[in-house]
Amino acid sequence: MANAGGDRPGAAGGAEQGRKAGDPASAESAAGEPAAGRAPEAAGGGDPVGEIAEAWRRELPEVPVGSIGVITPIWQLAKLFGDDRRRTLARDGVDVATLDLVSVLRRSGPPYTLTTAELGRRSMVTAGAVSQRVARAERAGLVERRPGEGRPRSVLVSLTEEGHRLTEETVGGLLHREDELLGGLTAEERDRLAGLLDRLLRDVQDRLGDDRIGQVGAP
């Protein structure tokens, strides 16, 4: 999921003039995403997303507005979930990139060792980013690296005992926290929503020709 953050111009009277045509921030706000730090336009605490859609339906009757009721809540949820995850990790003293690295190693199964090339492929980051992540995690005692066998310049990265501990504690805490955030849905509703979101994600990926998965909670 892509993160829905970012600063936007906020000076009274000059914010809209400060945005260039085609600026995603401008397009998103125009379609219904509230600007950062501002609640969606609503009167009397009703359905703000529905009110936005209805306003555009009235003003631009020839334009389809059904996407607003789907995409705007997704944007808002991505922002809420991403911000909460960053706060949770900050309290634990863990940065998102390091958690991504050790999580990939932990999910790989025994012996919890991957080449730097495979780490890059699974994390979907560049070789340079992998090198920086590994160096940082190695200094913290979370991973060890050694030359690979057979292939020249191959480097193997392994999870240490401390890396296992941090991964299990941090991921366990995150998943318990996010399970709480979904407490308003029944198990059946979660399953149904997960199925619909997976279907939507795959279809949009096909339409855009882009199957990359961004890391939730990353800056």
CA 132 centroid distance within chain: 21
Asked whether residue 202 is assigned to any structural domain, the reply reads: no
Asked whether residue 109 is assigned to any structural domain, the reply reads: yes
Total Cβ atoms within 10 A of residue 179: 10
- Dump pLDDT digits (tens) for 28-39: 455 555 455 544
Asked whether residue 72 is assigned to any structural domain, the reply reads: no
Which is nearest to 115 in space by CA: 97, 131, 103?
Answer: 131
152 shares a domain with 104: yes
Domain boundary among 169, 185, 207: 169
CATH number of the domain that residue 134 is part of: 1.10.10.10
56 shares a domain with 105: no
100 shares a domain with 150: yes
Asked whether residue 178 is assigned to any structural domain, the reply reads: no
Domain housing 156:
96-169
Average pLDDT over the chain reads: 81
Asked whether residue 210 is assigned to any structural domain, the reply reads: no
- Dump pLDDT digits (tens) for 184-200: 999 999 999 999 999 99
Domain boundary among 169, 195, 212: 169
Give the global pTM.
0.69
pLDDT at res. 45: 55
pLDDT at res. 32: 58
- Residue 215 carries which side chain, given as an amino acid letter? Q
Asked whether residue 119 is assigned to any structural domain, the reply reads: yes
Query: Distance (Å, rounded) from C-alpha 88 to C-alpha 170?
Result: 9
Total Cβ atoms within 10 A of residue 109: 8
Total domains in the fold of the chain: 2
Q: Residues with Cβ < 8 Å from 60, sequence gap 6 or more?
A: none
Q: Compute the CA torsion angle 106, 99, 73, 65 (nearest 10 deg).
A: -80
Q: Is the pLDDT of residue 13 over 70?
A: no
